[in-house]
Amino acid sequence: MFPSSKKREFFTPDQQQLMVKAIQEAETNTSGEVRLFVESKCKYVDPVDRAKEIFFSLKMEQTKDRNAVLLYMAINDRQLALFADEGIYQRLGANYWNEEVRKIIRSFTKDDYTGGICAVINDIGEALKSEFPYERSDKNELPDEIIFGN
């Protein structure tokens, strides 16, 4: 449904590599999962609705601890959203997620897209590590690569 191998020119290969590395590092000490979905236009007025649609289409709610987080971006429409599964969303609360969105927007206003994305992914990784620390039985349940939509 959402082509993961399709490469868009939103980011250079080096920038993409930095973002994937940030995801991998964020997941190192937690059972939590982080995914990044990037497309040009958001087909909904509210990017949270689009993020929710993508989250469930990617079956991210099927993680063992319900602790997956999606960072959604529509580049041309200048929209973004964080969508977290119930396991992690409820533990951190709405204020945490709203502040993370504010942080990434501050980076974007300085034209530091890659830095902003990596910083927020790092923050989410730290929160996941605190709430869902890594255990021996944990495995990487979802792919780490960036997903590019249309």
Looking at residue 101, what is its pLDDT? 96
Evaluate if residue 13 carries a pLDDT over 70.
yes
More reliable by pLDDT, 4 or 44: 44
Phi, psi of 28 (to 5 degrees): -60, -45
Task: Read off the tokens for 92.
Answer: 């951190």
Burial of 33 (0-12, 13-18, 19+ CB in 10 A): buried
Q: Which residue has the tokens 């191998």?
A: 5
- The mean of the pLDDT values for the chain is 93
Mean pLDDT value across residues 74-98: 95
Q: Which tens digits make up the pLDDT trace of 66-82?
A: 999 999 999 999 999 99
What share of the chain has pLDDT > 90, as a percent? 90
48: number of CA atoms within 13 Å, CB side?
6
Q: Which tens digits make up the pLDDT trace of 59-69?
A: 999 999 999 99
Task: Walk me through the domains of the chain, giving residue ranges and CATH numbers.
Answer: 13-148 (3.10.310.50)
Identify the CA nearest to 33 among candidates 147, 139, 149, 113.
139
Q: Is the pTM of this model over 0.95?
A: no
125 Cα distance to chain centroid: 10
Confidence band of 3 (pLDDT split at 50, 70, 90):
very low
